[in-house]
Structure 1
Amino acid sequence: MGVNKELSMLAERACEAALAAGRVITSYTAGQVVVHYKEGGDSLASQVVTEVDEQSQAAILEVLAPTLASHDLALLTEELADDGSRFEKDYFWCIDPMDGTLPFTQGKPGYAVAIALIRRDGEPMIGVVYDPVRERLYRAVAGQGLWINEDKWRPPLAESAGDCFYFYVDCTFESDSLRDVMTAQMQGLAQRMGYARSVIEVHGGAVSSACHVLETPPSAYIKPPKPELGGGSFWDFGATACIFQEAGAYARDYAGQRLELNSATHAFFNHCGVCFCSDPALAERVQAELRVIS
């Protein structure tokens, strides 16, 4: 079997797994869920975990576990310990059973299932995201394009320059000690790029925020570098990195470098930050402004 056919088949399994996880998530309401806390980054969003995360993961692994042996794949998932096999196998599944657990527990949108297949060198080959609130299934395969539900991706028309620029930020933005500074920086950035106004959308998890960037141009999702541990991990950005790649959009770190999605030296992105933009030309302007701010 050729690589393209094999990737297509694995993408179908990932879609099946994501939809199964979505059914688990939608069977719960926020009030039914007991919240626990785990070791993670410095933010509450990176420490919250629920039985829904765990059952969502179980639903995903029920579908994908057989592919570990049949295709000699490794596994990295947020709710299990990293066994290091991602450095030994040619490819590994990278799974976030429910990105945006915090907004889920608050009864707010902004959560999604994310499944990526990543090559050992860190290149994302498959990206699948399911948003159970909007019932949108994103499916991207390297070199094969992006589909949302049954439709092949077509970029939406951006609002004309001089109108509005959208910034998407995580649900923890409101409690961030640098919120006011970052707000002023984003507003100034939009003005210097020629937009009459800017809107800051406090949205939820990294996965959901990135998907909204793709579908609401001109827009960006940015997470500046910071000294504290956190800033998202491989499972937060693996699937959307592939989706953005196939959409012709932009997903890089804060300095414009390739996202390291299989590093042996870090599991989080606080050291380098991230920048997702709705198109590469726009990203060049955003990155230039970010360098000035930094």
Structure 2
Amino acid sequence: MTSVDTHNAVSEPPTPHDSRPLYISTGDEEQHFKAAYRQGLSIVLKGPTGCGKTRFVEAMAHDLDRPLITVSCHDDLTTADLVGRFHLRGGETEWVDGPLTRAVREGAICYLDEVVEARQDTTVVLHPLADHRRQLPIDRLGITLDAAPGFGLVLSYNPGYQSVLKDLKDSTRQRMVAIEFGFPAPETEEEILTEEAGITQGTAATLVRFSQAIRRLKTPGLREVASTRVLIAAGRLIAEGLLPRDAARIAIAAPLSDDPTVQAGLLRMIDTYVGGHASGVPALIS
């Protein structure tokens, strides 16, 4: 016997945060997001890894008093992972909604993080949701769902990191309002670090100067630059009692590259911008 359970199989979407997640605006992005959301427009956030896109969406969901369902996209993500599939339970087969379907039914914001990591045939299912129709066809059930009031679709990706083979289809792009993100201005990034990591303004300023130097580098072995996220991690280690140079080494320099030459250069920069030799690092690379 086959049954379609569209109530009990769907867990409740997460409720909005009690307190607003820390996000400091750098321009008009909050106004633009809320205007697009109120008009039922889908949104794509474009910007480097770790610049605050996810935190921004969390803050917007809080401000708009909407549940937020986040999906971290990857190469193996299938349409069924987003929409749902049949499961065998207690000898019967029942339908279980995926996160996208839950959001459509419940009027939640569905955030697909790094959407281009998913296969392009998977993202095609977003098209009728992302345009004026605001509908989700579920072929396996033979139904089409109209998005509940309050539903919002938000995608994000890093255009500087993706290859030609991993990019957002033009047919998807033109259904979206695009909001560009970059790293915050130095004074804003310092404020974020003092709030998030609990460090002094002086320590935050040191980490930000170090990150800016890395961001100016043009090195083939450096695929990504120091993000606000890794600066926060370093700051938290410093707040825990680690020396700033050690925190910078393990939270900023080490994750950015496995190339020994690049690593040596980053460690020399730690000496310049943070100070001293990191413990356990031979002097020959200082």
The TM-score with structure 1 as length reference comes to 0.26
The TM-score with structure 2 as length reference comes to 0.27
More strand by share: 1
